[in-house]
Amino acid sequence: MSWTRGVLFVVAVGALLGGSAGCGSGDAHERKARASASPVGKVLEDTDEEGWHYREVGKQGAPQVEVEVQPDSGDTWDVRLTVRHFRFSPPGARPVAVAGRGVARLYLDGHSLTRLRTGDYRLPGRLVPRGTHHLTARLYADDRTVWAVRGKPVESTADITASGAAASPG
């Protein structure tokens, strides 16, 4: 009979501990809106243009990114990111900063284009009107903080010069 009490005790403890974890208290929305309390780096007061805080890490072993852009046939541009000390997170990753992990965001002339979970992207030519433009790749942790070194975001910018017919931005 004592094993029955032991099983009931384990079930009761499991219900108490696990039951509160699944409650919809609205905390998920709060976690998305602020930097995680991760032991990785130091969250700074500085923010990017979208309001996401910088997460300062030391230069040694810090994430790095280089962006390269090449014209492709069919009015597109091939964008390739080369990263060091960084892994792209899979979809559904927890919104917590983990050393050297996260996503990249692409910006064209300072305007957000897309979030990437891979180093390859095909940029539609219709988004690049005639003239010279700046394509920037910036690295973010999964909690949306910006990886930073010495107060500067970890990013890389490449110039794109489109000489075709003028396109309408959109």
What CATH number does the domain containing 44 carry?
A: 2.60.40.10
For residue 67, give the H/E element and its range: strand 64-72
In the predicted model, what is the mean pLDDT of residues 9-37? 40
State the first-to-last Cα distance of the chain, in angstroms, to the nearest integer.
72
Cβ atoms of 155 and 137 closer than 8 Å: yes
- 169 domain residue, yes or no: no
The predicted pLDDT at position 149 comes to 98
User: Domain residues for 114?
Assistant: 2-162
For residues 31 and 44, give the distance between their C-alpha atoms in angstroms, rounded to a whole number. Answer: 17
Q: Which residues pair with 124 in a beta bridge?
A: 76
Q: How many structural domains does the chain have?
A: 1
For residues 20 and 16, give the distance between their C-alpha atoms in angstroms, rounded to a whole number. Answer: 7
The phi, psi pair for 3, rounded to 5°, reads: -65, -30
- 21 domain residue, yes or no: yes
The predicted pLDDT at position 34 comes to 55
Cβ atoms of 69 and 78 closer than 8 Å: yes
- 88 domain residue, yes or no: yes
DSSP of 16-32: HHHHHHT---SHHHHHH
**pLDDT band for position 142 (50/70/90)?**
very high
